[in-house]
Amino acid sequence: MSLTKTDKEIDSMRRGGALLSRALKSAVDAVAPGVILYELDVIGERVILEGGGKPSFKGYQPSPKDTPFPSTICISVNEEVVHGLGNRDLKLKEGDIVGFDIGCWFEGLCTDMAVTVPVGKVTPEARKLIDVTRASLIAGVAAAKVGNEIKDISRAIEEYVKPHGYGIVRALVGHGVGHQVHEAPHVPNYVSDRYPKVMIEDNMCLALEPMLGLGGDYHVDTAQDGWSIVMSDGSLGSHFEVTIAITKEAGAEILTPLPV
């Protein structure tokens, strides 16, 4: 599998990313105290299907032995940082923060994105966590240039987060995307020698996705449902993600515009 995409493939991903962004915005716009998670999942799925796409997470199995993921959107609440089940009969409450992670197939290519948003009025600490996570993602995008290393993206994200004291989740990282939901290379949100040196090439497509914990710890656990990833210290988790195409001419283009 190629680490890069053709211009035609990137164009399909651009249009699929625009559809995905609309689907995510439709779900985010419906967030309010008292709204049930599965209602938000239905809203996002409808937009994808009506736009000619297909949800990439619903039915997803990392391996044949795994239980298929049951919803179109991963919806994660408070200490759940990612992979929360979007089909739950769980009501949002004032002061919650909720993360949406969503992907779709369009013309045979896959895009992926995520945001975390407040439910009504949240604490200043929660608002800052959300803002820093988003800003660290944008710092990573700015470092995604042909000729740089993947490690330059990791460093940009880590250096942005460090002064704030948040934990950077290490068990989950960004990745290549397009031909499959998850492709090489790994794109960690921190600098580590355990990942091989990978140069950023022309027409490479990546999903960057910092995940932060308010408590300063980076450890996570898997919930009993087998999917939801929660901060081990029980603190709030936040997650943002965009799919980008990196070219010599345009630099890093965000193919999945953030709706918030």
Q: Is residue 155, in this structure, part of any structural domain at all?
A: yes
Q: Is residue 259, in this structure, part of any structural domain at all?
A: no
- Please say if the pLDDT value at position 107 is more than 60: yes
Q: Is residue 152, in this structure, part of any structural domain at all?
A: yes
Q: Is residue 2, in this structure, part of any structural domain at all?
A: no
Inter-residue contact 69 to 57 (CB < 8 Å):
yes
Q: For residue 181, which of 110, 82, 256, 239 has the smallest C-alpha distance?
A: 110
Q: Is residue 64, in this structure, part of any structural domain at all?
A: yes
Inter-residue contact 56 to 13 (CB < 8 Å):
no
Measure the CA–CA gap between 185 and 182, rounded to whole angstroms: 9
Measure the CA–CA gap between 229 and 179, rounded to whole angstroms: 25
Contacts of 128 (CB under 8 A, 6+ apart): 164
Residues β-bridged to residue 126: none
- Please say if the pLDDT value at position 216 is more than 60: yes
Measure the CA–CA gap between 107 and 242, rounded to whole angstroms: 19
Whether the ω angle into residue 68 lies within 30 degrees of 0, i.e. cis, is: no
Mean pLDDT of the chain: 97
The type of residue at 201 is E
The type of residue at 256 is T
Measure the CA–CA gap between 141 and 249, rounded to whole angstroms: 15
Q: Is residue 186, in this structure, part of any structural domain at all?
A: yes
Measure the CA–CA gap between 47 and 156, rounded to whole angstroms: 34
Q: Is residue 260, in this structure, part of any structural domain at all?
A: no
Q: Is residue 233, in this structure, part of any structural domain at all?
A: yes
Measure the CA–CA gap between 215 and 233, rounded to whole angstroms: 7
What average pLDDT does this structure show over 46-68?
Answer: 94
Number of domains comprising the chain:
1
> How does residue 3 score in pLDDT terms, banded at 50, 70 and 90?
confident
pTM exceeds 0.95 = yes
Number of other residues whose CB lies within 10 A of the CB of residue 118:
17
CATH at 129: 3.90.230.10
pLDDT digits (tens, 9 = 90+) for 153-210: 999 999 999 999 999 999 999 999 999 999 999 999 999 999 999 999 999 999 999 9
Query: Domain of 204?
Result: 7-254
